[in-house]
Structures are given as C-alpha cells and as structure tokens.
A and B are shown apart, each in its own frame.
Chain A
C-alpha cells in the first residue's frame, strides 16, 4: 500500500512526465492557453492512460511474454492505444453526450501523445504489477493535468505582459516551462526509489 502511494506521488511530482521526463510536450504547448481546456485535455488523457495502461499490461503479460514476441511491443501498443481512443470516442458519443462534448475534441489528439505510449512502455520495462500499472497511469495522468493546468494559469496571466516579439507564443511558453521544471526539480530525491 505504501509502495503504491510512493508510485503515485513519484509519478505526479518527482518524475513528472511533462516537466522532468519530457513526454507529452506537444499538448502541453498546444492546449495550455486556458485553464478550462487544459483541465479537459488533462482528464481525457488521464482516462485514456488508465485504460491503455490496463490494456497494454494484459497484452504484454498474456500475449507478448508467453509467446515470446517482444519485438511486437511498439506495434501492438500503438495499435491498442489508437483503437482504444476510437472506442472511447464512440462510446462517449453514444452514452454521454455531455462528457463527449467536453472531452471529444481532445480524444483524437491523444493517440499521438507520446506520454500515453511512453507510460505503457515504461510500465512494461519496470515490470509493474497490474495494480501498480493502474496507479502509475493514474499518477502520470494527474501529473500531466497538474502541469497543463498550472501552465494554463500562468499563460492566462501572461496575456497582458509585454513580451519581445520573437519570443511571443512558443518561445516564452518554453522558458516558462523551464522555470516550472526548475521548481519541480525540488521534488527530486523526495522519494528514494
């Protein structure tokens, strides 16, 4: 139990996927202009991460390992994630139009979010158990949402700042991300892994 809590906190703070491991940078830069959209994107991504973490774990441990097919890992994982995103999209459309209208536009973007695939591969490398994988995925998703929402909060404030023309947009966002990453470095060593 304590171990699971450590896995969770480690994924949220210490090894934050966005700011420390550089996974999921594209949505981090693209969908962080407003807090609302950032939260929506974060929640949709967390949802897909947990599902795909579970699905890839099952495939890894019941198909790839027993049949000795490690070379199919990347191929099968990305196909699982892509089809999972499709299924989730169709399912949400049918069952919960409200949720669909909130998360729907982000779903197609998630397929090419390297954080989702990175999470699946990392969980396999670390040899996590099923429960650990779920907790790790949840922590990663929360960490991703946290970074995205914090960034969006800062960018909303920056709207009115006088920024040099060349740095406007991506430039200043990246430098801000650098400062946030510096702050997150303070968490390293929080948990002896």
Chain B
C-alpha cells in the first residue's frame, strides 16, 4: 500500500513538473510564433501587391456599415465540439473598427457558432494585423441553422469554411447596415470540386495616400497531395495579376512541388484576368505535374471571378 502510494506520488510529481515546464515555455514562445506568422503573412501580402505600402482586410460592408458593433469580436468563441475547420475572419477597415464577423446580437447565436474564431484587426496596418484564424465550428448542420436564421443577407463579412462530413460549406455570415448590426448568414453548400474557389480572405492594398493600390487574396486549391494555399495580388484597374505566391502545399517533391518555382509562377505575372487560365493552352503546365498545374490555374480563374463579383458588390472595384 505504501509502495503504490509512493509510485503515485512520483508519477504525479513528474507529470506536474513536466506540465509546468511546458506551460512556462508555451507562454514564452507562443507570442513569438504568432508575431512571426503575422509578419510572414503581412510580408507576403505586400510582396504580391508591389505598389501598396500598407493594406487592410477587405470587408464588404466596410463601405456601408460604419457603425457595426465593436463588441463583435468578443462574441467569437472558439468551440470545441466540432467537425470541420473554420477560418472565420472578421475584420475592420479604418472606418469601421472591428467589424463583425459574427455579430453582436443575441438573436444570431447561430452565426456566432459558425464564426468560431475571428481575427478582429481593428488597426488596418500592415504590421499590426493579428492573425490566428483556425478554429472549429460545428459542421454543416449548424451552418444550415445559420441559413434559416438569417433574415437579411446583404454583405459578407466573415467567411467560414467548414470542411464538414459531407461537403465544404461556406458559411458566410454578415452584418447588415442596420444600426443594431443584426447578423445573418448564408450557407453555400459546395461540392469539393476544385473549380469552386475557396477564397479565404481578401486584402485591399493602399498606397501612401490611402488610395487603393491593388487587391490581394488568399485562396485554397485542391492539389494532387492536398491543399495548395496561395496568395494572389492583382491590379483591379488594369485587370491584371501582379504576382502569385504559394504559401503552403503538400505536393510531390520534385514534381508537383515545382509549382512554387518562379519558372511556373512567373507566367501569371501581368496576366490579364480575362484570360482563360487553361493549363496547356495559355498556361504552361509542369511536366509530370499536370494535376497540380491545372489545380493552380483553374483555381486562380475561379477565385478571380469570385473576388471580382464580391468586390463589385461592395463597390470597391
């Protein structure tokens, strides 16, 4: 009896010490990781928009809903019961700080679950954007609930991509221009097809005078080995791409992984967005990596269309 008590005490002491040391290290290290990630994202965003000196996260109602509730970011609760990943990001432009991903109001609890984790970047500055946007959301069932809950759907301000059991659900929650910022959500149940672009986030580049100097967006493509996440910079006035950069991918080394090489990506530079983006026609595919090449090209085309529609709806094109 005394023996087993001793064993338990030893185990508990070792476990507590280990946990304590780890908690301590985590506290020290986590801010560094977060700031590194934010800095890397900011750098990529500016890299693909050569003329911009700063940027802001673009939200549709930034132009209309200047009075969106600032407490919105507080409603974003990460919720663990979940099935898919949701990247819900909310953001504000200079005019509307902390525009709301979810929403402030009690009547829109459904939306709040969809927008699990929101990046409220109230300061629209390049460096100060906090980005931590992976969280969980209850799967498509909850997303459905949002759809019914929504009364007025005007603008999208938070895009949550829930990879649920059945399909990718784009839960687009949005706040309207109402004074009390009633939120609503729409759900697009999309199939997993690579032709449907998963635009994660749109950024508006600003030049020194605060004028629009380009648009950048992050988009996911379904590659050969998994998701290819790219950031794309474009010049809306000239209707041309500036630059494409691959952020993450899991393509085969030596074959599909060559989509990250300048030789492949350079052909998208200064390419008109009205081109077809068909691999092997106006885009040169990589030998032995046709699937990856097609995934990149067709996703770019679909995403460009989607982004243009969205920007035009928000009056920012």
Asked if A and B are interacting partners, one says: yes
- Name A's B-contacting residues (CB within 8 A): 3-4, 61-62, 65-66, 69-72, 75, 127, 129, 131-132, 188-189, 192-193
A3–B166 CB distance below 8 A: yes
* Complex contacts, A132 vs chain B, CB 8 Å: 165
A193 to B23, CA, bound (A): 35
* Complex contacts, A188 vs chain B, CB 8 Å: 224-225, 252
Q: Which of B80, B84, B163 has the most CB of A within 10 A?
A: B80
* Complex contacts, B19 vs chain A, CB 8 Å: 72, 75
* Complex contacts, B226 vs chain A, CB 8 Å: 193
Does B111 belong to the interface (CB within 8 Å)? Answer: no
Chain B 115-142 residues near chain A, CB threshold 8 A: 136, 139
Q: Which 8 interchain pairs have the tightest Cβ spacing?
A: A71-B26, A65-B80, A129-B83, A71-B22, A127-B85, A66-B80, A61-B80, A193-B226
A193–B225 CB distance below 8 A: yes
| A–B complex contacts, Cβ < 8 Å, 17 sampled | A4-B165, A61-B81, A61-B82, A66-B80, A69-B23, A72-B19, A72-B22, A75-B22, A127-B83, A127-B163, A129-B83, A188-B224, A189-B291, A192-B192, A192-B222, A192-B224, A193-B222
* Complex contacts, B82 vs chain A, CB 8 Å: 61, 127
Minimum Cβ distance to chain B for residue A71 (Å): 4
Q: Which residue of A lies closest to B29 (CB)?
A: A71
* Complex contacts, B18 vs chain A, CB 8 Å: 75
* Complex contacts, B165 vs chain A, CB 8 Å: 3-4, 129, 131-132
A66 to B81, CA, bound (A): 9
Given contacts A129-B83, A192-B194, 11 further A-B contacts (CB under 8 A): A61-B80, A71-B26, A72-B19, A127-B82, A127-B163, A131-B165, A188-B225, A192-B222, A192-B224, A193-B222, A193-B227
Chain B 150-187 residues near chain A, CB threshold 8 A: 163, 165-166
B81–A71 CB distance below 8 A: no
Q: Which residue of A lies closest to B290 (CB)?
A: A189
Minimum Cβ distance to chain B for residue A82 (Å): 12
Q: Which residue of B lies closest to A61 (CB)?
A: B80
* Complex contacts, A192 vs chain B, CB 8 Å: 192, 194, 222, 224, 291
A62–B83 CB distance below 8 A: no
B139–A129 CB distance below 8 A: yes
B85–A62 CB distance below 8 A: no
Q: Which residue of B lies closest to A14 (CB)?
A: B225
Does B281 belong to the interface (CB within 8 Å)? Answer: no
A75 to B26, CA, bound (A): 14
A66 to B120, CA, bound (A): 21
Minimum Cβ distance to chain A for residue B112 (Å): 17
A129 to B141, CA, bound (A): 13
A127 to B87, CA, bound (A): 13
* Complex contacts, A129 vs chain B, CB 8 Å: 83, 139, 165
Does B25 belong to the interface (CB within 8 Å)? Answer: yes
A69 to B252, CA, bound (A): 33
Minimum Cβ distance to chain B for residue A119 (Å): 17
Name the one of B81, B163, B224 contacting A189, with C-beta atoms under 8 angstroms. B224
Q: Which residue of A lies closest to B292 (CB)?
A: A189
Q: Which residue of A lies closest to B250 (CB)?
A: A193
* Complex contacts, A189 vs chain B, CB 8 Å: 224, 291
* Complex contacts, A131 vs chain B, CB 8 Å: 165
* Complex contacts, B81 vs chain A, CB 8 Å: 61
Asked, given contacts A192-B222, A193-B222, whether A62 binds B80 with beta carbons under 8 Å apart, the answer is yes
